[in-house]
C-alpha cells in the first residue's frame, strides 16, 4: 500500500498484527478511530494498557480476575468440589453463558502443543494436581477442544490425575443441536453412535 | 457476556466499538494482545494516540500527511493541473495503487449526506472552488462512489465548478474486468451499453 503518511502506516501496521485483520481492514479501523476525538482514542488505547498492567489471575483457578481470587472461586453458591478444566477464559465465559454449570473452574492457559513449543510446564497443570491433592474434589470435568492439542492434553491430564481415584469426565461430543446428520463429518457421526445414550437421559429434569 | 473481570470487559467494549467488530471478535483481539508483553501493547496503543495527536492534513489537497504539504502536492513529477476529487484518503491510496494516474488530488473528507447530517460546508468543497479559481487547472476528475451520496455530491460539485469552463469528467462505470455479464446488475449493464466506447479506445497505448 502507498501510505501518504508514515504515522498512518505505523498505526495500520500495528492493527494488522491482530489476528484476522489484514491491511485493508486495519486501514478502515484506523481511519474510523481517527475520526473520533482525542479523549475517545485515549480511552481505547488506555483500556488495553490498563488491562495489561492491572490484570490479575485468580490464585485458585487462574482465570482472569480483578482480585486475588475470582468471583466464581469466592462464591458460596458454587460447588467447589467439582472442577471444570478449560483452555482459557473464553471457555469459562462460554460455559457460564449456558447457565448449566455451577461448579468451579481450572484455566490451563493453553493446550499442550509440541509444534508451538508449549509443554505441560507452560500450563497450570501442576497447580491443578496440587489443588486436587489438597482440596476435597468429587469430579473433574475435562472440557477441552476436540483437536490434536486437546486430545494430547486430555491424555496427559488423565495420566496425572487418575491415581486420585476421582471421577474424571469429558464433555459430550456428538451432533450439534440443529445439526443435520447428512452434513456431519464421519468421525463425529461415528462416535455419536458408539457413545449413544438412553433417551430418558436426554430429557432435562425439572 | 459474563466477564470475570471489569478491566477485561472495558477493553472488550472499547474494541467492539470498532466497525465490523462484535463482542466475540473483540474478546479474541483483546486476549491476543494480552498475551503480548507490555512494550508491544504500548506500541499498539501509542501508534493510534500519536497518529491522532500529530496527524496533519495537506493544506492543498487535504489528504492525510506528515507535513504541511503532502508528498504528491510537492512532487515535481506530478501534473498539478489535473485534480482528481475523492471522498477520503483510502480512495487516494486505491488510485495510487493502480499506477495509472499522475495528477494531483483533492480529498473532500466525506460525501454530502443529509441523512447523516453532512452538508457541503462540512466538506472541503469551498477550498476546491478556491483552488480551481486561483490555480491553472486543465481537468477536474470526479472519482466518487456510485451511490446516492456520491451522486448528490457529484451534482453539487458540477454546479459549483461548471462556470470555470474546465473539462469535468467522472471515472468510467461499467462491468468490472473479470465480471460476467449474467451476474451484473441491470443498472450497471444498461449504463455500460449506453456509454459504450469505440474498441480502439480500450487498447492501452505504449
Residues B162 and B189 in one domain: no
pLDDT digits (tens, 9 = 90+) for B7-26: 999 999 999 999 999 999 99
pLDDT at site B124: 96
A8/B50 CB distance under 8 A: no
Q: Are residues B101 and B133 in the same domain?
A: yes
Higher pLDDT, B2 or A80: A80
How much of chain B exceeds pLDDT 70, in percent?
99
Q: Does residue A9 fall inside a structural domain?
A: no
Nearest residue to A44 (alpha-carbon basis) of A65, A29, A56: A29
Q: Is residue B67 part of a domain?
A: no
pLDDT band at A72 (very low <50, low <70, confident <90, very high): very high
Residue B103 phi, psi dihedral angles, 5° rounding: -90, -160
Rounded to an integer, what distance in angstroms lies between the CA atom of residue A127 and that of residue A57? 13
Is B70 a domain residue? no
The enclosing H or E element of A7 equals helix A6-15
For chain B, the domain total comes to: 3
Looking at the complex, report in whole angstroms how far the Cα of residue A118 sits from the nearest Cα belonging to chain B.
Answer: 14
Indicate if B82 and B144 belong to the same structural domain: yes
Q: Which domain holds residue A201?
A: 175-206
Report the range of poorest mean pLDDT among B75-84, B107-116, B175-184. B175-184
The answer, yes or no, to whether residue A200 has pLDDT greater than 80, is no
Residue A5 is assigned to a structural domain of this protein: no
- Comparing A62-76, B16-30, B171-185, the range with the smallest average pLDDT is B171-185
Residue from B139, B135, B128, B130 nearest B165 by CA: B139
**Distance (Å, whole) CA B67 – CA B58:** 7
Q: For residue B80, give the nearest of B143, B127, B124, B131 by alpha carbon.
A: B131
Q: Are residues B136 and B106 in the same domain?
A: yes
Strand partners, B191: none
Question: Which 3 state secondary structure label does DSSP give B119?
Answer: coil
Query: Which of B205 and B137 is assigned the larger pLDDT?
Result: B137
Residue A203 to residues A128, A170, A191, A192, Cα–Cα distance (Å): 33, 20, 21, 17
Strand ordering across the sheet containing A103-107: A103-107, A79-86, A139-142, A168-170
Place of cell 480551481: B132
The Cα of A194 is separated from the nearest Cα of chain B by a number of Å equal to 34
Cell of A23: 491491511
Render pLDDT for A173-196 as a digit per residue (tens, 0 to 9). 888 887 788 888 888 888 888 888
Q: In chain B, which residues have their Cβ closer than 8 Å to the Cβ of A28?
A: 19-20, 90
Q: Are residues A137 and A194 in the same domain?
A: no
Is B8 in Cβ contact with A64 (below 8 Å)? yes
* Spatial distance between the Cα atoms of B63 and B82, rounded to a whole number of angstroms: 16
Spatial distance between the Cα atoms of A59 and A84, rounded to a whole number of angstroms: 16
Residues of A in contact with B96 (CB under 8 A): 2
What stretches of chain A adopt beta strand conformation (E)? 56-57, 64-65, 79-86, 103-107, 139-142, 168-170
Measure Cα distances from A137 to A35, A162, B145 in Å: 54, 13, 64
The answer on B85 and B43 residing in a single domain is no
Are B157 and B203 contained in the same domain?
no
* Mean pLDDT, residues B116-130: 95
Which has more pLDDT, B41 or A192? B41
CATH of the domain at B163: 3.40.1360.10
The secondary element (H helix, E strand) that includes residue A46 is helix A38-54
d(CA A91, CA B82): 57
> Could you identify the residue written with the cell 496425572?
A160
Q: What is the mean pLDDT of residues A28-53?
A: 92
CA separation for the pair A98, A100 (Å, rounded): 5
CA-to-CA separations, A146 to A96, A112, A113, A151, A164, in angstroms, rounded = 19, 13, 14, 7, 25
pLDDT for A49: 93
Which residue in the block uniquely carries the three cell numbers 488495553?
A48
The pLDDT of residue B138 is 94
Domain-embedded: residue B137? yes
The distance of B162 to chain A (nearest Cα, Å) reads 30
* Cβ of residue B90 closer than 8 Å to a chain A Cβ: yes
Whether the predicted pLDDT of B98 surpasses 90: no
pLDDT digits (tens, 9 = 90+) for A12-26: 999 999 999 999 999
Q: Over 70: is that where the pLDDT of B205 sits?
A: no
Where are the alpha helices (H) located in chain B, listed in sequence order? Answer: 6-15, 23-34, 38-54, 71-74, 89-98, 126-134, 148-161, 186-194
Residue-level pLDDT at A206? 57
CATH number for the domain harbouring residue B23: 1.10.8.420
* Model confidence at A144: pLDDT above 80: yes
pLDDT for the residue A168: 92
Is the domain of A139 the same as that of A190? no
Residues of chain A positioned with their CB less than 8 A from the CB of B6: 66
Of all residues in chain A, what percent carry a pLDDT higher than 70?
99
Partner residue opposite B48 with nearest CB, options A19, A33, A53: A33
Mean pLDDT of A157-166: 93
User: Residue B206 has what pLDDT?
Assistant: 57
With respect to residue B63, please indicate whether it lies within any of the assigned structural domains: no
* A55 closest CB neighbour out of B7, B64, B71: B7
The answer to whether residues A153 and A99 belong to one domain is: yes
pLDDT at site A191: 82
B16 domain residue, yes or no: yes
| Residue B98 sits in the same domain as residue B39 | no
C-alpha cell at B166: 474546465
| Same domain (yes/no): A129, A110 | yes
Whole-number mean pLDDT of chain A?
90
Name the pLDDT band for B176 (thresholds 50, 70, 90): confident
Residue from the list A13, A34, A70 with its beta carbon closest to the beta carbon of B4:
A70
pLDDT digits (tens, 9 = 90+) for B132-159: 999 999 999 999 988 899 999 999 999 9
Q: Which pLDDT value is given to residue B13?
A: 94
| Total residue count of chain B as it appears in this document | 206
Interface contacts A/B by beta carbons within 8 Å: 160
Chain B CB within 8 Å of residue A57 CB: no
SS (H, E, C) A107-134: ECCCCCEHHHCECHHHCCCHHHHHHHHH
Residues B195, B167, single domain; the answer is no
- Determine the pLDDT at residue B27: 93
Read off the pLDDT of residues A109-132 as tens digits, 9 standing for 90 and up.
Answer: 999 999 989 999 999 999 999 999
Amino acid at each position: 500500500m502507498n501510505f501518504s503518511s508514515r504515522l498512518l502506516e505505523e498505526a495500520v501496521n500495528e492493527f494488522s498484527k491482530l489476528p484476522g485483520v489484514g491491511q485493508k481492514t486495519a486501514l478502515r479501523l484506523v481511519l474510523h478511530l481517527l475520526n473520533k476525538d482525542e479523549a475517545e482514542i485515549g480511552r481505547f488505547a488506555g483500556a488495553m494498557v490498563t488491562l495489561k498492567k492491572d490484570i490479575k489471575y485468580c490464585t485458585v483457578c487462574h482465570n482472569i480476575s480483578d482480585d486475588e481470587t475470582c468471583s466464581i472461586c469466592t462464591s458460596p453458591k458454587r460447588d467447589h468440589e467439582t472442577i471444570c478444566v478449560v483452555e482459557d477464559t473464553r471457555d469459562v465465559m462460554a460455559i457460564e453463558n449456558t447457565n448449566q454449570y455451577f461448579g468451579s473452574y481450572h484455566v490451563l492457559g493453553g493446550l499442550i502443543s509440541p509444534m508451538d513449543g508449549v509443554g505441560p510446564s507452560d500450563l497450570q497443570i501442576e497447580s491443578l494436581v496440587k489443588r486436587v491433592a489438597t482440596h476435597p474434589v468429587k469430579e473433574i470435568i475435562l472440557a477441552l477442544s476436540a483437536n490434536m492439542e486437546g486430545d494430547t492434553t486430555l491424555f496427559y491430564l488423565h495420566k496425572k490425575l487418575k491415581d486420585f481415584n476421582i471421577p474424571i469426565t469429558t464433555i459430550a461430543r456428538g451432533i450439534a443441536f440443529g445439526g443435520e446428520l447428512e452434513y456431519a463429518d464421519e468421525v463425529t457421526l461415528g462416535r455419536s453412535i458408539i457413545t449413544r445414550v438412553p433417551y430418558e437421559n436426554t430429557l432435562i429434569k425439572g
